[in-house]
Amino acid sequence: MTISKMTALAGAALLFSLSACGQSADDTAKTSSAAEKADQADLVETLGDAGDLSTAAGLIKQAGLEAALEGPAPYTLFLPSNEALQAVNAEQLDRLKSDAGRPELIALLRYHIAPGVLAQEDLVNAIKSGDGTVEIANVAGSNLEFTQQGNRIGIGSGDQAAMVTGEPIVAGNGVIYTIDRLIQPDGSGAPSS
């Protein structure tokens, strides 16, 4: 290798190292955040580790929605706990779990999924700035109404609201909120009878 090539390589290495040093804190934070996100499990893996959501995880698998929730697109899931799903009419739950009920199951689950990542703080701030209520689109093409009821977030209103329980579970491509009722297509959180 000639001296001019060695000088050029050394200069390029120095330029590269200096440009990395010149990164802003925001750029470094974005890079770190992206790397951390890549290391996190996706929604399906994260859901599989959430013991209180095992029935909802089974319904997502039955519906064939796993591939979409494993992908890079971000989603926010509002999923009923095992206890909440036990309150659903057994016949309805059996029908949803059957092959014949799969289209209905897919439609129902789509009410529980919003595109993008809805951080709890952002949701609370949106409710406050919306005079106590905010509507957010779900992937079913309708809106979910969110309210603040005391220290809790409700989906729907009044006694029929599905309440968020516990802290959100963050995944690499989204976030999961546990709720205490199944959200019905009419927007209520009441269990079906």
pLDDT digits over 105-137, tens only?
999 999 999 999 999 999 999 999 999 999 999
In the chain, domain spans: 1-38, 40-179
Average model confidence (pLDDT) across the chain: 82
pLDDT of residue 37: 47
pLDDT of residue 184: 83
* Per-position DSSP letters for 133-165, written without gaps between them: EEEEE-TTSSEEEEEEETTEEEESSGGGPEEEE
Q: Return d(Cα 22, Cα 96) in angstroms, integer.
A: 56
Q: Return d(Cα 12, Cα 8) in angstroms, integer.
A: 6
Report the CATH fold assignment for 40-179: FAS1 domain (2.30.180)
Q: Return d(Cα 104, Cα 107) in angstroms, integer.
A: 5
Using 50, 70 and 90 to split pLDDT, how confident is the model at 11? very low
Q: Return d(Cα 75, Cα 93) in angstroms, integer.
A: 24
Instruction: Please give the average per-residue pLDDT across 1-12, as a whole number.
Output: 37
User: What percent of the chain lies above the pLDDT cut of 70?
Assistant: 76
Answer yes or no: are the C-beta atoms of 163 and 153 closer than 8 Å.
yes
